[in-house]
Structure 1
Amino acid sequence: MRIAALADIHFTPQSYDRIREQMNRVREEADILVLAGDLTNFGKPEEIESMLNSLVRIRIPIVAVLGNHDYESGKSEQLMKMLVQEGVKLLDGTGYERDGVGFAGTKGFPGGFGRGALTAFGEPEVKAFVQAAIDESLKLERALSQLRTPKRIVVIHYAPIGGTVQGEPTEIYPYLGSSRLMEVIDRHGADLVLHGHAHHGAADGKTTAGCPVHNVALPILQAMTPPRAYRIFDV
């Protein structure tokens, strides 16, 4: 299977015009399109509607997770419903299997990496924040445990490792992802991990157990030579 992947579209008709020509070729180059979150700028239904009008015309199967921007307006459930109604395989603690390849996904959450990860100690607000990160990692665990395929792809928005956020200001590393996600990935194993969110991070990295991790945020892809609208992965 050839997978085309990108994240952080932050869709507007004007921004999509910059990648429209490349996106129109994706069906010729890939079997499936993966969108790793931040489909919109402000999580508004009209943004998703406009994005779907552009992407559905491509006529390629789509697997997606939401990102933090997609929650901004409190309409995430409506956005999910709209995506599903158009045939998008939306992952939210769930799995999807196609032609021997399993996709497991969830949004993820921040919290930091390794010894710098925030722990549930002190104020109730801190404990609630950490619990949200734990809940997202449990959703990923549930999704991975559902898969019965020989190959496994993890789709998340937040980074599971510090390696693919390098290039961002160090002060914001804890807000870009959580190593709790990596712990789940290494426990279950994955052939490929795709995420976004870190617009100025690194494109490639690995988990502690060696699972390949790729940051497919659109700003990173557009900074490559030549600029890309998506990356292709063979699994």
Structure 2
Amino acid sequence: MSRLASFRGPSAPSPSPVQNPQSPSNKKKSRRSDALTDSSNFQPPSTPSRSATESTFHRKTRAYLLELKAIANSWDDLVLIDGVRAAKHLVDARTELENSISLAPKRRPRYHLVGEKLVLAENKITELESIIASLEKHFRRMNNIIDGLEALYFEATKAKGFQWAAKEPLWTTWSLEKFVVSIPSVLPAYNRSLHECKTIVNILRSHAATFEVSRDAIARWVEQAWLEEFGWDGNWEALCAAEVEKWDP
């Protein structure tokens, strides 16, 4: 067979056009176009929020701190609202009794007048003693919270390691250890406040206390110098608002 016999004529054109080979510049343009297309569809990876990564230790620490705040607020209400009201009513009752007696110097005051004022005064003394009992309970709860934080710290060192408990910030910059070793400094102010309130109640309890002595005692009660400078609001509220996530839920 001749070579011409093996020739079957021109091949039929392909239904698909032949792709022209890309030059290096065309390849770069193609890659750039693909990159632009990909970038337009790019979705940044979602970053988990800090609350999503919270552990039991985060939540328990926040709960302890919020409980301390609640106790401190209740302490202020007991002292500055309930206590001041009871102390003023006590002094008012005694003043009214003294005025009633002074208006009748030559005759014995009627029993119902004296008895009524004395009963009112005794009731207010009982209220003040009840407030002292509540403050003592609050102070014990504060100490229990401090103990709970310390126990939480040792639990965290076992579960997550010393480095995490001592150095890793819980939310912003303070570590669990920083909270645990710093929070107990709030206790002396409330201990002194409790001692001062007990002293003042002992002064007011005596029916022999003059108006001037009682007035000065109430002024000391209202002042609460230790709490003003070293209590929760003076030292810890702003710090916790900055350091603790979800501080005001």
Which TM bucket (shorter chain)?
under 0.3
TM-score computed with the length of structure 1 as normaliser = 0.25
| Structure with higher strand content | 1
